[in-house]
Homo-oligomer: A and B are copies of this chain.
Amino acid sequence: VTPDNNGPVITLTTDFGYGSPYVAAMKGVILSINPAARILDLSHAIPPQALRHAAFFLASAVPYFPPQAIHAVVVDPGVGTDRALLYVETGQHRLLVPDNGCWTELLHISGGEPLVHQITESRYWRATVSSTFHGRDILAPVAAHLSRGLDPRALGSRASKWVRLDLPRPWRGEDGLHGEVIFVDHFGNLITNIGGETLDAVSASPQLEIGDVVVKRWVRTYGEAPAGALVALVSSAGQVEIALAQGNAARELGAKIGTPVRLAGGHPGQ
C-alpha cells in the first residue's frame, strides 16, 4: 500500500503569520528546486520573534516526526545581522535554524551530542540574498537541496558552539518547588516547566499556586471538572499544567509565559 518513492518532507515553522506572502514565497522557492518536495505547515503563528514559544513548540512537535523530515524554522529577530544559520541534527531530527537558541529545548529532550554545521556555502542559496528574508533566500533553497540528497557537510564547516536559550528550570525552595509558565496554548492552558514525574513521589495532593490563586483540584483530564473550575493536571507533554475547564485559564488569571508558579505541600523533600 505504501509506495516506496514518497517525496521528501520539508516542514515550515515561522512567525510570518497567515496573511503575509513570506510563507508562500518559501514554498515557491522550495518547489522550484525540488518539485517532489512535500511541504508541511507546522505553524506560522509563532508570535513575532518569540524564541521561547518557538523552543517549546519545536520540542513538542519535532520528536513525533520520522527522521528523514527536514524542519525549516524561521523565527529570526537577528536576520541579516552576523548571527549564523545552522544545520542541526539532534535525536535523528534534522533542522535548519537561525543560531538563536530556538532548538535548545529540543536538544535538551533529545540528549546526546548534536551534529551542527554552519550554513555558509552560498552556492546553495538564491543568487540574490535579501538582508531581511533569509528564510526565502537561504533556508528554503538549502532545505530543498538537502531534500534532494545534498550532504549537509557541503553547507559549511562543522560548528562546536551555538547559542542556547536560557530556559528556566524549576528550583526547590523552603516553601516548595518554584517553576513558571513556559507555554500558553490556544485554549489558554498554562504549561509549566515542572515535570509531571515530580508528582509521582507525592503522597498527598500537592498544592499548586499561581500568583495569589491556589489551584486546589487535581484531575486526570479536563472533562472531569465542571465548567469554570480551575484545575491542575499533567499535560500531554508530561508537565504540570493549569487549565480552566471549558474556559481560558490564561485570560482568567492574566497569566503568560514567565508567570511564576509554586508547588507546595507533600512534595518530595518536605
**Interface residues as binary, A3-31 with B (CB distance below 8 Å gives 1, 0 otherwise):** 10111110101011111111111111101
Are the C-beta atoms of A64 and B186 separated by less than 8 Å? no
With A22-B185, A43-B18 already in contact, the answer to whether A31 and B66 are too (CB < 8 A) is yes
With A42-B27, A63-B28, A66-B31 already in contact, the answer to whether A20 and B186 are too (CB < 8 A) is yes
Are the C-beta atoms of B221 and A64 separated by less than 8 Å? no
User: Which of B32, B224, B246, B248 meets A65, CB within 8 Å?
Assistant: B32
With A41-B41, A223-B77 already in contact, the answer to whether A35 and B1 are too (CB < 8 A) is no
In the A-B complex, the 7 residue pairs with the smallest Cβ-Cβ separation, listed nearest first, are: A80-B221, A17-B186, A28-B64, A133-B236, A24-B61, A28-B65, A19-B45
Q: What is the minimal beta-carbon distance from A256 to any residue of chain B, in angstroms?
A: 13
List 15 additional A-B contacts (Cβ < 8 Å) besides A17-B45, A25-B64, A77-B246.
Answer: A1-B36, A16-B186, A17-B186, A18-B45, A19-B47, A20-B185, A21-B61, A24-B42, A35-B66, A38-B38, A81-B223, A130-B236, A132-B235, A132-B236, A136-B236
Q: How far is the CA of A234 from the CA of B41 in the complex (A)?
A: 28
Q: What is the minimal beta-carbon distance from A78 to any residue of chain B, in angstroms?
A: 5
User: Which of B3, B132, B133, B147 meets A7, CB within 8 Å?
Assistant: B3
Residues of B contacting A11 in the complex (Cβ-Cβ under 8 angstroms): 24, 27
**Interface residues as binary, A131-142 with B (CB distance below 8 Å gives 1, 0 otherwise):** 111001100000
Q: What is the minimal beta-carbon distance from A140 to any residue of chain B, in angstroms?
A: 9
Q: What is the minimal beta-carbon distance from A46 to any residue of chain B, in angstroms?
A: 6
Of A52-60, A158-166, A203-211, which binds chain B? A52-60
Q: How far is the CA of A4 from the CA of B32 in the complex (A)?
A: 14
Are the C-beta atoms of A221 and B131 separated by less than 8 Å? yes
List A residues 123-159 near B (Cβ within 8 Å): 130-133, 136-137, 147-149
A49 beta carbon closer than 8 Å to chain B: yes
List A residues 215-270 near B (Cβ within 8 Å): 220-224, 233-236, 241, 246, 248
